[in-house]
Chain A
Amino acid sequence: MADVINTQGHVRLGSNAGQGLTRRDGVLKVTGAATYAADNRPEGLLHAVTATATIARGRVTHLDVAAAEAHPGVVKLYTPDNVPPLAVSPDEKIHPFVWRMEALQSDRVRYAGQPIALVLAETLEAATEAARLLAPRYEAETPHVTLDDAEPFETTTTAFGRPADHSSGDIGKARATAARHVVAEVETVAQYHNAMEPHAIVARWTGDRLEIDTPNQAIGLARQTFAAFLGIEPAQILIRSPFLGGGFGSKAILYGGQLLAVLAARDTGRPVKLVLRRDQMYGPVGHRAPTRQRLRLDLDEDGRIAALQHDTLTMTSSFDHFLEGASNASHSLYATAALQTTHRGLRADIGTPGPMRAPGEAPGSAALEVAMDLAAQAAGLDPLAFRLRNHAETDPSNGMAFSSKALRECYAQAADLFGWADRPAEPRRMRQGQLLKGWGMGSAQFPCPMFTAAAHATLRADGSAVVETSAADMGQGAWTALAQIAADGLGLDIDRVEFRSGHSDLPDAGVAGGSGHTATAGTALFNAGADVVRRLVDLATGDPASPLFGAGNSGVTARGGRLHRNDDGRSEAYEDILARAGLDMLRGEGTGAREGQPTRAMFSHGAVFAEVLVDPDLGQIRVSRLVGAFAAGRIINPRLARSQLLGGMVWGIGFALQEEALHDARTGRFTNNDLAGYHIPVNADAPMIEALTVHEDDPFVNALGIKGVGEIGVTGTVGAIGNAVWHATGLRSQRFPIHPESLILSGESL
């Protein structure tokens, strides 16, 4: 079927997947023709601006509503006194991607940057000034925003309801037999997504029909969420989200401001646009909370891990629950007889954290890989040899076999390209000019979740097709990679396939998150195309006028817009089959989801090697080389996959050396909530970076064998950089990001 042999649910893709096509939306983007949400300016538009709290805890006691309303151009102002109510409780969890919907329910302030009023005006400038004129007064209480002073609370779950604690094997017994142990303590800091495109929404009601332009990573879920809180049917809502200027997890979740804009549009009868300022993205739209992690690795005489313990302390807001599941990163990577992981939570006066760039895995992997380096040192083994010795043949947390795991090949290929074999075991042995040089490594691992997606495919009379699903392209290349899969499902050249995506009237493509979008939406699209081909084959093989008559469905291959007989090679074009059948189109449907309980452990894997240069006097660190090799199942588009992996590795540079949101502990306010102050890497920070992909066939993960490449790049990389800094300097930083100041604390040159 469709240039595909179906063997036990395992599918061979055709000539489109596997090609490094450039982005189909590339020209639109580089010419500025791509329309992002905030580019929409419907007739009669009102501009909305939120006023935000400058205290982190307390109450708003006064707003100068009169002054704000008197400002020329102001149309309407909402405060807790007059805001239209939500249809259901703000705490309603209609699905797992809903955070408490903070929409001016009360005068209570729970974090700095919390919206406390919404102003609508004829111009952005007027709304901005009126928001300022509100000049809020507060009854402030002492805030707690750090891991040191926030309130502990009881919890049994981390993010997305995963259990907070895990234990397998007998850790006491395992420790009793161990020869030695190492302890690593690692802190990571608060990080903010900082997608280039701010959160934006344009909402317009026409009667009881609602149109929304907003960047969103889960259009179908967003429509459910809007519908529930507005008390209307999902079918009344159209969400358009053709392009996202980055999401990183923060656009998977709707926040109260977006709902307020919709309520305001309904209330005023005019379209409303709300675009957050950069500083307003610090608080209400999620972030990665800081962690304090402790790992203990017990080793036997041969350097095998007998017991692995990973404990995480992290924090969430005072009014919702999202705990960074960092310890989970230790569940499935390295073999151990006994495994124990815990998470403890604190409630702080901060906005609710959320999923951000490998939530849990990124900080957890950072700490784990530092601990592994320490353990390798204790075992007297090369870091790579130590990891190979502790290679997990089955998932230590549940005993399951891996669906596929080409991690050994990743180690080998990346180490070879990097030149790891020449690494001196001792630190401080390499120099480049005056600079200290160090090499470090880390293993990468990321789960392969699937969500649920649906898709349609329609073959048209001229033999071209249109495929439809409401996918989200955040820059990762969904417009291209998904279309490639869809074309293969149809047995068509990609140029014959029109891909419709990015709005909610299309079949739901599920969440673009968890690195599972290509696998999930791709499966649905492939199946929709295959469904069309199946119908086409039935038509042709049952039609005595067709050269395919009597071939049987297993005797036919779909390729290049024709069905081919496998026995004598005769073929017929799709359009001819349709024409003879008197059809002007043929429609197929498909879904993508993982069925039943998995019986295999499913992960992408990788190995990352880092070289750093460190200035011995000034402590400045430069990642001079970064080489990764990744086994991530079937690669649909090598060009896009490489970009994703490189991007993930660049996140790793940011995590290891730069990204850090700073609060003033006295007020809970941020002191660097802009792109000048919150540093993310620039091109000059990544001079030489390469990502290889290692061949991997995975017959279990899904029929197409697709894993995911979105987030794995950051795992392994942070630890690799930290370990390289140690190798260069002999200093183990217990905190990411590693600042120059922390390296020169000793007072001596390095």
Chain B
Amino acid sequence: MKPFAYTRAETVEAAIAAEGALLAGGTNLLDLMKIGVAAPDRLVDISRLPLAGIEEVAGGLRIGAMARNADIARHPAVLARFPALAEALLSGASPQLRNAATAGGNVMQATRCSYFQDPASSCNRREPGSGCSAIGGQTRNHAVLGWTEGCIATHPSDMCVALAAYDAVVMIEGPGGRREAAMESFHPLPDAAGAGPAPLSPGEVITDIRLPDPGGMARNARYVKLRERTSFAFAIVSAAAALDLRDGRIAAARLALGGVAARPWRCRVAEQALVGQPATTESFARAAELAVQGARPSGDNAAKIELARRIAIRALSLAADGTPDRLAALPASVFAGENNG
């Protein structure tokens, strides 16, 4: 691997000023460096920044960017009030990875597009203007929503799907000061020429993630993830859903899809259509139809559209059933609800 300088930032200001690639848990960045996709001149280790806290704030939550995925998933407030986030986190990667991976790193993790990961392939995301090798290639984990000829990659995070559904806000500090961005639009969609702009400007650091009070949705929220391997596998498609039910009717709804687009795909139209409806499969089916409106295969992956529609229905139905008191042994698995050994 290319030689690089290493510094450790003790403060956020120092991290901003250091002008290097930020190293948090390293579970993604170091892999990319090893395969020659990332080749930073300088690594700025931010893992010791005092940003690992998880705090309840006015019914909501503030998750520090350095909080480990495992710690977030097991935090009592997350389990009690944001259970779909816990499920999403526990469905991701492996215990070892979750112990190392941070919230900020999870948000900023790179796509798993195999052409992005292969320096011998042209890739607009890696090298703007070089073209997209994924088109016409192996596209099982590629987008069916919001893609362009410029890039058909998906964002692979499970956590971000739940965060988008929970209306999370990403807090950012940079050379130009503080700003915030809604999780659901934090990751830019591709444009005609390529992957679109970077989500962060040079020097910007994610400091924390804010979750507003889930209100009446706290115990009607689920995350469901489809994958052939029960653990240690990215989603083929996934969905986070939360409902505020009043007397069997839906007062408010949240729905986001994963594995389908370059960002967690928040389905606002579907959510609105659910408001005032009874919490029935029919309502959910209509909403799911709206959720995948405009979806198109980006290759040999048309089945994902149908799967995304169905997993939206599933997540909404499970949310309507209520979050179980105990987290399932197979978090987010479609088999989690059944007694299957």
Q: Which residues of A pack against B, CB within 8 Å?
A: 54, 125, 128-129, 132, 277, 279, 432-435, 613, 615, 617-622, 624-625, 657-658, 662-664, 666-667, 669, 671-672, 676-677, 679, 681-685, 687-688, 737, 739-741, 744-745, 747, 749
Q: Could you say which of A54, A125, A432 contacts B338, with CB atoms under 8 Å apart?
A: A432
- Of A54, A432, A435, A621, the residue contacting B228 (CB under 8 A) is A621
* Contact partners of A128 in chain B: CB under 8 A: 1
Whole-angstrom distance between the Cβ of A130 and the nearest chain B Cβ: 11
Beta-carbon contact of B138 and A747 below 8 Å: no
Partner of B114, one of A672, A682, A747: A672
Question: Which of B68-76, B144-152, B229-237, B247-255 is found at the contact surface with chain A?
Answer: B229-237
Q: Is the CB of B228 within 8 A of A682?
A: no
Interface size class of B (residues with CB under 8 A): 35 or more
Further 16 A-B residue pairs, CB within 8 A, beyond A434-B338, A667-B120: A128-B1, A132-B2, A435-B335, A613-B335, A613-B340, A617-B314, A669-B118, A671-B114, A672-B138, A679-B233, A682-B232, A684-B330, A685-B230, A687-B340, A737-B228, A740-B226
Shortest beta-carbon distance, B339 to chain A, in Å? 8
Q: Which residues of B contact A666 (CB under 8 A)?
A: 136-137
Residue pair B303, A745 in contact (C-beta under 8 Å): yes
Residue of A nearest to B93 (CB): A676
Chain B at the A interface: SS class:
loop
Most buried by B among A621, A625, A685, A688: A685
- The answer on a CB contact under 8 Å between A739 and B228 is yes
Among the stretches B44-52, B170-178, B265-273, B305-313, the one at the interface with A is: B305-313
Q: Which residues of A contact B234 (CB under 8 A)?
A: 676
- Please indicate the chain B residues that have their CB under 8 angstroms from the CB of A739 in the complex: 228
Contact flags B99-140 to A (C-beta < 8 A → 1, else 0)? 000000000000010110010110000000000010011101
Instruction: Flag B16-47 by CB within 8 Å of A: 1 or 0 each.
Output: 00000000000000000011100000000000
Are A684 and B341 in contact, CB atoms less than 8 angstroms apart?
no
Cα-based distance from A687 to B311 in the complex (angstroms):
24
B275 within 8 A of A: no
What are 8 contact pairs spanning A and B, CB under 8 A?
A277-B34, A613-B335, A620-B226, A664-B133, A671-B138, A676-B234, A677-B112, A740-B307
Interface residues of chain A: helix, strand, loop or mixed (majority): loop
Q: Which residues of B contact A54 (CB under 8 A)?
A: 118, 120
Q: Are A662 and B2 in contact (CB under 8 A)?
A: no
CA distance A737 to B229 in the complex (A): 12
A294 to B136, CA, bound (A): 29
A662 and B139 CA atoms in complex are apart in Å by 11
Per-residue interface assignment for chain B, residues 218 to 251, with 1 indicating a CB less than 8 Å from any chain A CB and 0 otherwise: 0000000011111111101000000000000000
Known: A129-B3, A737-B228, A740-B228. A618 touches B307 (CB 8 A): yes
Chain A contacts for B313, CB-based, 8 A: 617
How many angstroms from the CA of A618 to the CA of B230 in the assembled complex? 14
Contacts of A676 on B, CB cut-off 8 Å? 112, 232, 234
- Enumerate chain A residues within 8 angstroms of B228, measured Cβ to Cβ: 620-621, 657-658, 679, 737, 739-740
**Is the CB–CB distance between A129 and B2 below 8 Å?**
yes
Closest to B229 in A: A679
- Interface residues as binary, B280-323 with A (CB distance below 8 Å gives 1, 0 otherwise): 00000000000000000000000110110011011000000000
Report Cα–Cα, A682/B118, bound state, in Å: 26
Chain B residues lying within 8 Å of A677, measured Cβ to Cβ, are 112, 114
The answer to whether B138 and A664 touch across the interface, beta carbons within 8 angstroms, is: yes
Give Cα A286 to B311, complex, Å: 38
A749 proximity list for chain B (CB < 8 A): 310
User: Would you call B182 an interface residue if the criterion is a C-beta within 8 Å of the partner chain's C-beta atoms?
Assistant: no
Residue of A nearest to B230 (CB): A684
Query: From A663, which residue of chain B is reached at the shortest CB distance?
Result: B138
Do residues B137 and A620 form an inter-chain contact, with CB atoms below 8 A? no
CB nearest to A55 among chain B residues: B120
Bound Cα distance from A128 to B39, whole angstroms: 13
Q: Are B231 and A618 interface neighbours, CB within 8 A?
A: no
- Residues of B contacting A667 in the complex (Cβ-Cβ under 8 angstroms): 120-121
Complex Cα spacing A745 to B114, Å: 25
Q: Which B residues are CB-close (under 8 A) to A624?
A: 340-341
